[in-house]
């Protein structure tokens, strides 16, 4: 394959004729419930660029939703996948096991926060791993209830829909949902300032006590198997909780025999400027759930934790036909080696400083940018009606659509649909990253 030129280039209108043909075919063949953010079809991707079927080169600020963190078709991953796929594609780890699975478990046990004797189990998707973390926590504690938080996103299967907060589009019409799931208030500094005063916005311990009161009084620790939380919320709006929130929750869980599950599906693997986002808070969760950035796009997910918890289920209680597929495991090992050898954790921290500097300057001149937040290469802006806290979903939609037309892939998120989120691959050049932000600045000025 020839190298993909690292520049933004519009060869046709967006979408071009080939994409338009595919859009027509998709409408006739694919269930309409499966939506698309971009109106173009991908042909190739590398570094900071996705090239579409009409030869348009788009700057990638999405990484396929925080998945291709080491860059699409990353060379070591491509080589490892080629080698593995030629050796064998599948045997089922539960039938004829293979080394790759064990090596990924070893890597996860080594890389995740905490020093003790750890174990991992591998699955296919983030949702599947979340479900398994809850199975493990229930067996371990002998309890059933699970608490998740406002604005949470944990997936689209039945149990994970119940854990997910937002109805439209994730849950609407799809119930009934799994029982024994309860929702606690989050720490959402930007909006807590509005509803709970300045103290709640800055005092994470106070925000945690609000959640703990709910858990204590409405669920009861003696019924509660697990608390699950994203250390920085993804789909919910890249919400970084106030300092002290996560440690206080974790301590309460420890004191009450409740398993603390960190859902690091979106935040894991260098994305936030640490290998795992929990490290920013200095906390060691009981179980940690990973997926997305783990294998550069090959489907793989995992649950990792202390042997005492992970080994609670009976032999044969965990598994699945494809879980820890050998090709996906080869991709994961190459991805992890690329992160560690390439200094990509530091690269994510550098991207944070570039983006926050630029977006901060934009915010100073534009009172529609209510908040700039996030960590590492996981940065967002929350858009509001000028000078208020009122969410502006319409502006967000207009801005993202115009960015797509201009050749920049951006995603939106947030409970109110008013958050523009940036998840560039860590291999994007500074120049491309800043060019994409310049494009956004010009569009926002015109809107």
Pairwise CA distance, residues 27 & 122, whole Å: 35
Q: Which stretch binds ligand PLP (CB under 6 A): 56-64, 262-270, 314-322, 395-403?
A: 262-270
154 scored as a contact of ligand PLP (CB under 6 A): yes
Quick check: 15 binds ligand PLP (CB under 6 A)?
no
Helix (H, G, I), strand (E, B) or coil at 340: helix
- Report CA-CA distances (Å) from 261 to 123, 244, 258, 412, 440: 16, 17, 9, 26, 36
CB of 429 to ligand PLP, least distance (A): 26
Which of residues 291, 328, 330, 428 is near ligand PLP by CB under 6 A? Answer: 291
Residue 230 touching ligand PLP (CB under 6 A): yes
Q: Which of 52, 54, 203, 263 binds ligand PLP (CB under 6 A)?
A: 263
Q: From the CB of 122, what's the least distance to ligand PLP, in Å?
A: 13
- Residue 126 interacts with ligand PLP (CB under 6 A)? yes
Kindly tell me which of 49 and 275 has the beta carbon lying closer to ligand PLP. 275
Shortest Cβ 316–ligand PLP spacing (Å)? 24
Q: Name which of 122 and 130 has its Cβ closer to ligand PLP.
A: 130
For the stretch 251-255, contacts whose Cβ atoms lie closer than 8 Å and that sit 24 or more positions apart, written own/partner, are 252/208, 252/212, 252/215, 253/227, 253/286
List C-alpha distances in Å: 178 to 144, 370, 415.
11, 36, 21
Q: How far is the CB of 238 from ligand PLP (least distance, A)?
A: 11
DSSP classification of residue 298: S
Residue whose pair of structure tokens reads 């789909």 in the numeric block: 235
Q: How far is the CB of 65 from ligand PLP (least distance, A)?
A: 6
276 near ligand PLP, judged by CB under 6 A: no
Binds ligand PLP (CB under 6 A): choice among 19, 127, 290, 335: 127
Question: Least CB distance from residue 385 to ligand PLP, whole Å?
Answer: 28
Cβ atoms of residues 430 and 440 within 8 Å: no
Backbone φ and ψ of 337, nearest 5° = -65, -40
Q: How many residues bind to ligand PLP according to rule CB under 6 A?
A: 14
Query: With respect to ligand PLP, which residue has the nearer C-beta, 305 or 407?
Result: 305
DSSP per-residue codes, 98-114 = -HHHHHHHHHHHHHSS-
Give rounded-to-5 percent helix, strand, coil for the chain. Answer: 40, 15, 40
Q: Decide if 185 contacts 200 (C-beta within 8 A).
A: no
- Interacting residue with ligand PLP among 48, 71, 100, 155 (CB under 6 A): 155
Closer CB to ligand PLP, 281 or 392, in the complex: 281
How far is Cα 11 from Cα 53, in angstroms, rounded to an integer?
A: 10
Q: Does 227 bind ligand PLP (CB under 6 A)?
A: no
132 binds ligand PLP (CB under 6 A): no
Q: How far is the CB of 294 from ligand PLP (least distance, A)?
A: 10
Please report, for residues 354, 367, 382, the alpha-carbon distance to residue 364 in angstroms, rounded to integers and kept in the order given.
Answer: 16, 7, 14
Give the CA count within 13 Å in the CB-facing half-sphere of 289. Answer: 31
Closest to ligand PLP by CB, 265 vs 440, is 265
Question: Which parts of this chain interact with ligand PLP (CB under 6 A)?
Answer: 125-127, 130, 153-155, 230, 234, 263, 265-266, 291-292
């Amino acid at each position: 394959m020839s190298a993909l030129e690292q520049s933004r280039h519009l060869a046709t209108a967006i979408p071009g004729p080939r994409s338009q043909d595919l859009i027509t075919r998709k409408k006739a063949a694919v269930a309409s419930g499966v939506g698309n953010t971009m109106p173009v079809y991908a042909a190739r991707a590398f570094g900071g660029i996705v090239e579409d079927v009409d030869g348009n080169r788009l700057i990638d600020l999405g990484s396929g939703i925080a998945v291709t963190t080491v860059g699409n078709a990353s060379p070591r991953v491509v080589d490892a996948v080629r080698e593995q796929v030629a050796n064998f594609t599948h045997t089922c780890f539960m039938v004829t096991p293979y080394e790759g699975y064990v090596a990924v478990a070893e890597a996860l046990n080594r890389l995740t926060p905490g020093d003790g004797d750890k174990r991992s189990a591998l699955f296919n998707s983030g949702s599947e791993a979340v479900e398994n973390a809850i199975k493990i926590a229930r067996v371990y504690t002998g309890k059933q209830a699970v608490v998740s938080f406002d604005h949470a996103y944990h997936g689209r299967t039945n149990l994970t829909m119940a854990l997910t907060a937002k109805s439209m589009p994730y849950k609407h019409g799809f119930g009934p949902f799994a029982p024994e799931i309860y929702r606690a208030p989050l720490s959402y500094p930007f909006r807590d300032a509005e509803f709970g005063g300045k103290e709640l916005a800055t005092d994470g311990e106070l925000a945690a006590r609000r959640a703990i009161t709910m858990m204590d009084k409405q669920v009861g620790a003696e019924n509660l198997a697990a608390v699950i939380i994203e250390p920085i919320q993804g789909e919910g709006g890249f919400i970084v909780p106030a300092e002290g929130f996560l440690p206080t929750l974790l301590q309460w869980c420890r004191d009450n025999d409740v398993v603390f599950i960190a859902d690091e599906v979106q935040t894991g693997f260098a994305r936030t400027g640490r290998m795992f986002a929990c490290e920013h808070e200095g906390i060691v969760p009981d179980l940690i759930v990973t997926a997305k950035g783990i294998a550069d796009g090959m489907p793989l997910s995992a649950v990792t934790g202390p042997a005492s918890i992970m080994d609670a289920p009976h032999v044969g209680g965990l598994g699945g036909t494809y879980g820890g597929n050998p090709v996906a495991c080869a991709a994961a090992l190459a991805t992890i080696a690329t992160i560690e050898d390439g200094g990509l954790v530091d690269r994510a921290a550098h991207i944070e400083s570039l983006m926050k500097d630029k977006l901060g300057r934009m915010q100073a001149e534009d009172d529609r940018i209510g908040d700039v937040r996030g960590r590492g290469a996981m940065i967002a802006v929350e858009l509001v009606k000028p000078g208020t806290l009122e969410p502006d979903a319409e502006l967000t939609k207009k801005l993202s659509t115009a960015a797509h037309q201009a050749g920049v892939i951006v995603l939106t998120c947030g409970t109110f649909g008013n958050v523009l989120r940036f998840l560039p691959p860590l291999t994007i050049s500074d120049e491309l990253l800043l060019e994409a932000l310049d494009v956004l600045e010009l569009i926002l000025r015109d809107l």
